[in-house]
Amino acid sequence: MGIDLKAGGRRTGHKSSSKVIKTANPYTRLLIKLYKFLARRTDSNFCATIVKRLHMSKVNHPPIGLNRLAKYMKNKDGKIAVIVGKVTDDVRMLEVPQLSVCALSFTENARKRILAAGGECLTFDQLALRAPTGSNTVLLRGPKNRKALAHFGHSTSVNNEHTHDGVKPYVRSKGRKFEKARGRRRSRGFKV
């Protein structure tokens, strides 16, 4: 078997994004350098994960709200929450617990509320000095809520009908006539 050059051929010039830093943000570029060094010298999975997430695009840096952050940090006293993304304020939350949070950025109100509760807002270079291998940290992510994600999933089949659970089909309408036969009723083959 050769390479079908006419059909697209060899993929040249497609370095993976973790080899080439795509962002122009000098702060992010320095952080990638720092954590790449730490990952190499400390063999820390935490640092390797941070590098991987710093390389990701903005869509894959979903923000996390204070409410969700507080929920994840319950019963984790003395640990630092680490988010490769932004921390936003949640106006529905009345009491903010004392938190140590390290993130790429904070909204103005989120920072105010964390500091007012006696917590602290760290940057990633401060975290590197305090916990170079990620000890006593909790690595968190915000929820991804891009519209397209509702449609992601595997094709379903008779053998495994659960691969399509919770996956939103691209359907024009939800009426009786639209995609309600095979795969949607037991009497028509199978149902998911």
* 36-91 tens-digit pLDDT: 999 999 999 999 999 999 999 999 999 999 999 999 999 999 999 999 999 999 99
Tell me the C-alpha distance between 4 and 183, whole Å: 37
Residue 161's pLDDT is: 65
Contact 106, 121 (CB under 8 A): yes
Query: Considering the entire predicted model, what is its pTM?
Result: 0.77
DSSP notation for 50-82: HHHHHTS-GGGS--EEHHHHHHHTTT-TTPEEE
